[in-house]
Amino acid sequence: MNAVEVLLAVRGYIKHFFGCEECRKNFLRGAAHLDDVVFSDKDAVLFLWRSHNRANHWLRRDVTEDPQHPKVQFPNLSQCPTCHKTSANGSVVWEEDSVYEFLQSMYSGASIVRDSESVGMHPVPFRWENSYRPPEDGTYAVNFVSVVTAYVPNIINATRLDVSLCLAFYILCTGLMGLLYWRFCRPCRSRKNSSSFSLV
């Protein structure tokens, strides 16, 4: 996967769909010169890391800060001692090569905790002809269920809002069809009845 393309997609998503207007403006301000500084996967990773730390710096001690998760520079010294380097004048600066390696190891596939599996949910084989048998290629369904017998293929993941909107749309369409019938078909029928009556 090309990290530069992913980063551009993230920027596009935040620009057009992100709900927090202030967050959107701040991110886009920081990503204005993205095309000039990001040329490789490493540049993309470090760009996001710098943006995260810059946001944490400005939000530190803000009224919105969660006391359980304070806005600190990441990673801290205990998480990655090699990421911090003391310069000749005694100030601490980032060792970005070490930061990149730390981020790569921290967010690698082996370190990811899959929430669905941690609560006892596992992938279920496809259901064929009322019996469970895995397909020949060994693939599994992407849906997760707690109880295997509760699995039904082609389950639609819909919230109450989705169902309500569908119902409202159905009622609206039915009403429009009735209105169109009443407006256009009813006069034709009454004209036919009146013309046939006059012939008698």
User: Which tokens is 39 given?
Assistant: 């040329």
Angle at 102 between CA 112 and CA 47, to 5 degrees: 95
Distance in angstroms (rounded) separating the CA atoms of residues 200 and 198: 5
Task: Name the average pLDDT for the chain.
Answer: 77
> Residue length, the chain?
200
Angle of helix 21-30 relative to helix 41-59, nearest 10 degrees, comes to 130
Q: Homologous superfamily of 1-74 in CATH?
A: ERV/ALR sulfhydryl oxidase domain (1.20.120.310)
Q: Please, which pLDDT band fits residue 74 given cuts at 50, 70 and 90? A: very high
Q: Please, which pLDDT band fits residue 82 given cuts at 50, 70 and 90? A: very high
| Phi, psi of 96, deg, nearest 5 | -65, -30
3-state secondary structure of 69: strand
* Whole-number pLDDT of residue 2: 82
Angle of helix 3-17 relative to helix 21-30, nearest 10 degrees, comes to 140
| Domain ranges within the chain, ordered by starting residue | 1-74, 79-112, 115-150, 163-194
